[in-house]
Chains A and B, each alone.
Chain A
Amino acid sequence: MTSSLATPAISYRLLRRAVGAYGDEVLAHLGSLFLRAAVLARMHIRDGNIYEPDPSLIEPDAQRLRVRLRSLWREALELPAGAGSVFRELQHAELSPSAASGRLDWNDALSMARMSVALRPNDPHARIALFINLFRNSNLREAAAQLSAIRMPEQYGPVLHARVLWNRAGPVEYEGDTKSAVALLRRCLELDPTNPSYRRDYLAYALASGHEETALRALSCVRSVSGPHVITEDVKSFLQREQAPVTRMLGRNQDLMRSLNRALDRRPAAAMI
């Protein structure tokens, strides 16, 4: 038995590769911090829209996040040629003038999300965060492109797949294709039945479709996963979305709501598939 590990000779080639991988790691980590900063900034915007990011992305300590982000930012700026210069180019291209000069605007959710996507182009969460910010800024074409860039969302597992589809449903509904939005939300619920947002929006889109059969089907589907009392909560929650286009549509469908209530009172079994 030898007394110690032999010290290996590290070739220049291997050294370069390892330091390059370290640079990649720093940039990817920085991208994940930008993503968290973008999520926090978006959560503080009160524009009447509900924003429900993945809970795992919500940083509990904003101050700590800022300290870590600034520290990693300084580290990234000093990365060796290659990784570091890529970062410097991104910094100027993606962030607002104040950020490019080294002062980050913590309220600038869009810039933070852009930076996150630039540093983590294959991260679906980063794409979704940028999509939300673009969509809320009415930049629909670029927003849609972000979701389209998430190739084969099913490879990320059912929960993230459902989240991608859920976000796709927003623009689809916005363009008036409620039928497709209903289908997307139904798929979301199949993939992630425990998510209350999907239950609520599935009901919302189904009710807004104006078709009694669609609405009944949605009610029965939601009931099968959550029970009647949760349906009430879901609908209440949905009705609070005053700014959502679907709520305005529902306003024109009060007759449908009444007929649905009557249908359920009269033959509750009709709502069960």
Chain B
Amino acid sequence: MTPLDEDPQPPDAAHTPKVNAAQQWAEARSAFQAFGALPPDQRPRHAGLLLQPMAAWILEGIQQASRRYYLLVPGEAAFARLFAQLTSLEQLPDQSEDFLAWIETRLLRDLGALIQEAQHAPGSASEPPPALIERFNRLPFRWRALLYLFLVERQSLPDLAQQLQLPQLAAARAVRRAWHKVAGPDPPPSLPSAWQRPDALPEDP
């Protein structure tokens, strides 16, 4: 399977929850239960403490969903909203996989609203601008996959070309075409510093 196949694929082994993550999940669950057992007037003061054991799981869930569907997510807005939503759950699922699936469902359901929220309250400089996120997510799956692997995962052109089973020049042309769809007519949008920049692509001869 190449990243250009139409159907979303499950995350590969490098992205599955880790072997002894079970213990970490048990700790997160027990922190959640302790939070739920607090008298209501004490919960707000302890919300920050609950955040600590849950943060890694929320981020993992966001990353998995983003990678699975090759979607860009306004990270801060999504993180904050998902944390808020989990505080109103009766209990956390027994298995961390079920929690990650819950994150994915909520994220896909609320992504449009989260992008809108990010337009009013942008995230940190390590996030792409909301307008770019919106345009990116509107691309067809195969185009998103191509750009995601190049920009976000910083795959080299030879690796990308190998996955696409294309000559390098053709792969570069495909990435550039997809990028033009996302960049829009205005001056090039500012990109997170961790991303690979499209101007790293070789020019057409």
Contacts and interface: CB of A to CB of B under 8 A. Distances in A.
Interface of A: 1-8, 10-11, 13-15, 17-26, 29, 71-75, 77-80, 84
Interface in B21-38: 21, 23-24
Contact of A8 (B39, B40, B55, B84): B55
B43 A14 contact: no
B21 A22 contact: no
A73 B40 CA distance: 8
B18 interface: yes
Interface of B: 13-14, 17-21, 23-24, 39-45, 47-48, 51-52, 55-57, 59-60, 76-77, 79-81, 83-85, 87-88, 121, 124
Contact of A75 (B13, B43, B81): B43
Contact of B40 (A3, A4, A21, A72): A72
A56 to B, nearest CB: 18
16 contacts: A5-B24, A5-B60, A8-B55, A10-B51, A17-B77, A18-B80, A18-B83, A21-B80, A22-B87, A24-B84, A26-B44, A72-B40, A75-B43, A77-B41, A79-B44, A80-B44
B88 A25 contact: yes
Contacts, number: 94
Given A18-B79, A78-B44, A10 B84 contact: no
Given A7-B56, A10-B52, A75 B18 contact: no
Contacts of B84: 18, 21-22, 24-25
A108 B43 CA distance: 28
B80 A17 contact: yes
B62 to A, nearest CB: 11
Contact of B44 (A2, A3, A4, A84): A84
Contacts of B83: 18, 21-22
Nearest to B25: A5
Nearest to B52: A10
A8 B56 contact: yes
Given A1-B13, A17-B79, 15 more contacts: A5-B17, A5-B21, A5-B24, A11-B124, A13-B76, A14-B79, A17-B76, A18-B79, A18-B83, A20-B80, A22-B44, A22-B47, A22-B87, A75-B41, A78-B43
A11 B85 CA distance: 20
Which interface residue of A21, A73, A79 has the most chain B CB atoms within 10 A? A21
A21 B86 CA distance: 11
Nearest to B87: A22
Nearest to B50: A22
A83 to B, nearest CB: 9
Which interface residue of A1, A4, A11, A20 has the most chain B CB atoms within 10 A? A4
A8 B77 CA distance: 17
Contacts of A15: 48, 51
Contact of A3 (B19, B43, B59, B88): B19
Contacts of B59: 8
B79 A3 contact: no
A123 to B, nearest CB: 14
